[in-house]
Amino acid sequence: MIVCAAVVGPSYNPLHLQTFALDDDPLKYHYIVHCALDVIDERLSPPSPRSRGAGGNDPCLGYLYSTEDFKVYGYVSNTHVKFLLVLDDPETKDVRELFHRFHSAYIDAVSNPFQLPGHSITSRSFEARLRALASS
Amino acid sequence: MAPRREVAESCLEFLYIELVQSYERKDAECAEKGDGRASRAALESIGFQVGQQLAERYTIDRARFADHLEVIKFICKEFWSEIFRKQVDHLKTNRHRALFVLQDDRFRWLRHLSLPAEQTSNTEAVAKYLVFPCGLIKGALSSFGVNCEVTAEISEDARKPTQCSFEVRIK
């Protein structure tokens, strides 16, 4: 199950972080996401990432790292927006599909003319779509 | 995936023409206060934001871009065909000066404009309709991480009133 979904902007500005476990402290996830950004940075820094075969420019970075309880997955769009999902499953679902839906929801949220570019997203429909994603 | 929603092209064209004109009227009102060029900036920034939004939307199924040239090619092909239903006709590049010229021989948003009879040169009258597309290109490029200046030029040739070119200068 997805326990946390986060969007981070091109200049590493946090745009959105949402948790789906009831009793958890969001701060913990901020920390996990923050650590994952270092991994993303590392993956993106060489122009053609080594030993990852043909998927060098694949937006879906896949598995990034794990903590004791969670696994963190990442996705980077063409516009350098980073998407992160924190999962607590031992077995991996189709994260590519999840990220695609996550990205679509984000696109619809930022296409709102009242959404200021580069500001954090506080749209209720975006949150609802992420909740639907988490419970799917 | 949800079906693509569409809109009649005539609606879009009317809206676009009215957008430009309404900002022009606003300029005329402000001209007395000595602030007659504000509409250019406003139109460009609207274009910029729309460009950013479309850039995000049109690249969802694409691999990440490797370099600037790939981004420019995307603009000329996919991005242009999504918005203007055709590709850019000519792309000139000068890589030393980081300059790209995108030339469109039949720019779709100029097709239905006709000049008043007494006017012979179209450059002045048409220029204001190219501010928004400049912003559009600039917005899309900037969201791909390419910082640039975009300027538009209209062909002097009277037989080709809808020919125009966009000059992209990467900073």
- Report the DSSP pairing between strands B99-104 and B164-170: antiparallel
Q: Is the pTM of this model over 0.80?
A: yes
State chain B's mean pLDDT as an integer.
86
C-alpha closest to that of B91 among B79, B106, B81, B76: B76
In a domain, B161, yes or no: yes
* pLDDT band, very low/low/confident/very high, at A54 (cuts 50, 70, 90): very low
> Rounded mean pLDDT of chain A?
85
- Assigned domain for B2 exists: no
Q: Cα(B161)–Cα(A36) distance, rounded to whole angstroms?
A: 53
- This complex has an ipTM of 0.84
Number of domains in chain B: 1
User: What pLDDT, on a 0 to 100 scale, did the predictor assign at position A52?
Assistant: 46
Q: Please tell me the distance in Å from A68's CA to the nearest CA on chain B.
A: 31
Is A59 close to B143, i.e. CB distance below 8 A? no
pLDDT score of B30: 76
Residue B55 confidence (pLDDT): 93
- B59 with A77: Cβ contact below 8 A: yes
Partner-chain residue, chosen from A58, A104, A117, that has the shortest CB–CB distance to B63: A58
Pick B70 or B1 by higher pLDDT. B70
State the smallest CA–CA distance between residue B104 and chain A in angstroms: 25
Instruction: Tell me what the mean pLDDT of segment A99-120 comes to.
Output: 91
B78-81 contact pairs (CB < 8 A, 24+): B79/B54, B79/B55, B79/B140, B80/B104
Which has more confidence, A120 or B157? Answer: A120
Q: What is the pLDDT of residues A68-81, one digit of tens each?
A: 888 999 999 999 99
Tell whether B69 is covered by a domain.
yes
The confidence score (pLDDT) of residue A56 equals 62
- Classify residue B1: in a domain, yes or no: no
What is the arithmetic mean of pLDDT over B26-34?
Answer: 75
Q: Which domain holds residue B83?
A: 11-114+122-170
Nearest to B63 among A47, A57, A100 (CB): A57
Tokens 């000059």 locate to B167
pLDDT of residue A100: 92
> Does residue B4 fall inside a structural domain?
no
Length of chain B: 171
Reading the block at residue B116, the tokens are 């008043």
What is the per-residue pLDDT for B119? 67
Q: Between vectors from CA A91 to CA A41 and to CA A9, what angle results, nearest 5°?
A: 25
**High-pLDDT (> 70) share of chain B, %:** 91
- Tell whether B132 is covered by a domain: yes
Q: Scan for tokens 């996550």, then name that residue.
A: A102
Domain A2-134 has CATH 3.40.50.10310: no
Out of B53, B57, B145, closest to residue A80 by CB: B145
Would you call A79 and B143 a contact, using CB atoms and an 8 Å cutoff?
Answer: yes
Q: Are B129 and B110 in contact (CB under 8 A)?
A: yes
Contact, B105 vs B163, CB < 8 A?
yes
Per-residue pLDDT tens over the stretch B52-99: 999 999 998 888 888 888 899 999 999 999 999 899 999 999 878 789
Whether pLDDT at A124 is above 90 = yes
pLDDT at B135 over 90: yes
- % chain A with pLDDT above 90: 43
User: Is residue B2 very low, low, confident or very high in pLDDT (cuts 50, 70, 90)?
Assistant: low
Higher pLDDT, B67 or A129: A129
Res A49: pLDDT: 47
Question: How many angstroms separate the CA atoms of A109 and B123, rounded?
Answer: 38
Range with top average pLDDT, A58-67, B118-127, B130-139, B149-158 = B130-139
Task: Using CB atoms within 10 Å of the CB of residue A49, give its burial: 0 to 12 exposed, 13 to 18 middle, 19+ buried.
Answer: middle
Burial class of residue B9 in the structure, from the number of CB atoms within 10 Å of its CB (0-12 exposed, 13-18 middle, 19+ buried): exposed
Q: What is the CATH number of the domain that holds B97?
A: 3.30.1380.20
Burial of residue A51 (number of CB atoms within 10 Å: 0-12, 13-18, 19+): exposed
